[in-house]
Amino acid sequence: MVLGFNLTASRDASQAFALFKSASKFGCPSAIVTDRLDSYNLAAKTIFNNSKHIKVQSFKDDISNNLIEAFNDTFKDWYKRKRGFKSFESANTLIAMFIFHYNFLRPHYSLNNLTPAQVAGILVDEKAMNNWLLSA
């Protein structure tokens, strides 16, 4: 389940802190898996100090970031059809809607055709979902 995103022009420590701070609203995971970007180190240690920070070093590692890379591929396929975003604000709105669709509406084959929200035990009735979609 996608817990947050942080759209920025660069990937430095302040963006890593903002992303992890946003995700921390959902609790403290036992482990965080990231790529080798140094910006994640201090943010992970500070915000998720009780979590194990696993930095994927290569494709041969026992633990991989394949799940997020698969999500990134899905997102890129969707984004390409948009032919770019018209503004930073519209990009944030559309990305939030994509993540809502990904988490709550789109069944995933790897999850036995359930949504990530269903697997996580988050139940949203159809009326609430329609209200959210209309307000977006």
Provide the residue ranges of all domains of the chain, joining segments of one domain with +: 1-64, 66-136
Other C-beta atoms lying within 10 Å of the C-beta of residue 128: 11
Task: Show the tokens assigned to 50.
Answer: 């009780």
Supply the pTM of this predicted model: 0.73
Task: Show the tokens assigned to 43.
Answer: 């943010």
CB 48 within 8 A of CB 21: no
**Tens place of pLDDT per residue across the chain (136 aa):** 888 888 888 888 999 999 999 989 988 989 888 888 899 999 999 999 999 998 887 666 667 677 777 888 888 888 888 777 888 888 888 888 899 889 988 999 989 999 999 998 988 788 877 776 666 5
Cα-based angle 51, 39, 15 (whole degrees, multiple of 5): 95
Question: CA–CA separation, 69 vs 79, rounded Å?
Answer: 15
Q: Which of 103, 70, 92 is nearest to 9 (CA)?
A: 92
